[in-house]
């Protein structure tokens, strides 16, 4: 699940999970990220989810607002749209600075289904929509495994059945914007 890092009080960074319905961004230091709804003003900068693809994670698109300027990594949105990449910096007026992160965390959630059949790499059986499952958080992998009482395919061994990524559950996010200063 992608998220935005926002600068909270005392300059600590807070991670906000991006809901599939998207968010509206405002040049408001107190509440820059709000749920996108039909009543969101057209002036707002929008962040919308397009996808997900079968294995790859969802694609997030930043859509410029009518009056609120926005920059990504320092560049104005010349076309009004931009596909966001991991660790892109989003700047709004009033000094609001956010970071987009595509980093995923391994967590159990209902398998959302896909346009084609998806087979678990551990037990080789098909995954059915709604079944508890874990999507491998490795960016180059992203394959789904069962994680039910009967089929604990994700936690069955220490590594993803396809790429070997550690199968810990409830692990924290590894990247924060604080790491930018040191890199
Ligand atoms: Zn399985
Ligand atoms: Zn994997």
User: Does pLDDT of 142 surpass 80?
Assistant: yes
For residues 51 and 112, state if they share a domain.
no
- Give the closest residue to 160 by CA, choosing from 133, 142, 177, 179: 142
For residues 13 and 97, state if they share a domain.
yes
On whether residue 176 sits in a domain, the answer given is: no
Category of 164 on φ-ψ map: left (φ > 0), alpha (ψ -120 to 50) or beta:
left
Mean pLDDT of 76-93: 92
Spatial distance between the Cα atoms of 168 and 3, rounded to a whole number of angstroms: 20
**Final residue of a domain: which of 82, 101, 120?**
101
For residues 26 and 61, state if they share a domain.
yes
On whether residue 175 sits in a domain, the answer given is: no
- Give the closest residue to 34 by CA, choosing from 43, 94, 44, 58: 44
Rounded to the nearest whole angstrom, what is the distance from the C-alpha of residue 60 to the centroid of ligand 1? 29
For residue 52, cis peptide bond before it (omega within 30 degrees of 0): yes
Mean pLDDT of 4-29: 87
For residues 111 and 80, state if they share a domain.
no
On whether residue 25 sits in a domain, the answer given is: yes
Phi/psi of residue 176, nearest 5 degrees: -135, 160
Rounded to the nearest whole angstrom, what is the distance from the C-alpha of residue 92 to the centroid of ligand 1? 44
For residues 97 and 17, state if they share a domain.
yes
On whether residue 183 sits in a domain, the answer given is: no
Residues in CB range of 33: below 8 A, 6 or more apart: 4, 6, 16, 23, 24, 25, 98
For residues 51 and 20, state if they share a domain.
yes
Could you say which ligand is closest to the alpha carbon of residue 135? Answer: 2
On whether residue 42 sits in a domain, the answer given is: yes
Give yes or no for a contact between 100 and 58, defined as CB atoms under 8 angstroms apart: no
Rounded to the nearest whole angstrom, what is the distance from the C-alpha of residue 67 to the centroid of ligand 2? 42
For residues 18 and 97, state if they share a domain.
yes
pLDDT band at 57 (very low <50, low <70, confident <90, very high): low
CATH number of the domain that 111 lies in? 3.30.40
On whether residue 73 sits in a domain, the answer given is: yes
User: Does pLDDT of 55 surpass 80?
Assistant: no
On whether residue 180 sits in a domain, the answer given is: no
On whether residue 26 sits in a domain, the answer given is: yes
Rounded to the nearest whole angstrom, what is the distance from the C-alpha of residue 180 to the centroid of ligand 2? 26
For residues 157 and 81, state if they share a domain.
no
Could you say which ligand is closest to the alpha carbon of residue 140? Answer: 2
Q: Give start and end residues of each alpha helix (H) in the chain.
A: 179-182
To the question of pTM greater than 0.95 for the whole model, the response is no
**Counted domains in the chain:** 2
- Give the closest residue to 105 by CA, choosing from 61, 57, 41: 57
The protein residues having their C-beta less than 5 angstroms from ligand 1 (an ion) are 120, 122-123, 146, 151, 153
DSSP 7-60: E-GGG-EEEEEPPTT-EEE-S-SS--EEE--TTS-TTSEEEEEE---SSSPPEE
Domain coverage including residue 152: 107-167
User: Does pLDDT of 139 surpass 80?
Assistant: no
For residues 113 and 82, state if they share a domain.
no
For residues 87 and 59, state if they share a domain.
yes
Distances from the Cα of 85 to the Cα of 30, 36, 90, 151, angstroms: 25, 20, 11, 34
């Amino acid at each position: 699940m992608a998220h935005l890092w926002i600068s909270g009080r005392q300059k600590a960074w807070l991670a906000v999970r991006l809901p599939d319905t998207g968010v509206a961004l405002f040049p408001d230091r107190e509440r820059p990220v709000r749920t996108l709804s039909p009543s969101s003003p057209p002036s707002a900068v929008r962040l919308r989810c397009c996808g997900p693809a079968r294995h790859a994670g969802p694609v997030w698109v930043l859509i410029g607002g009518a009056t609120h300027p926005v920059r990504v990594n320092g560049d104005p949105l010349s076309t009004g749209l931009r596909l966001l990449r991991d660790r892109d910096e989003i700047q709004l007026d009033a000094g609001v600075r956010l970071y987009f992160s595509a980093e995923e965390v391994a967590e159990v959630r209902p398998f959302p289904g896909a346009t084609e059949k998806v087979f678990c790499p551990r037990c080789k059986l098909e995954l059915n929509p709604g079944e508890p499952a874990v999507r491998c958080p490795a960016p180059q992998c992203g394959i789904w495994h069962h994680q039910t009482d009967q089929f604990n395919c994700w936690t069955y061994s220490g590594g993803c059945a396809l790429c070997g990524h550690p199968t810990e559950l409830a692990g924290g996010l590894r990247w924060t914007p604080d790491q930018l200063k040191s890199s």
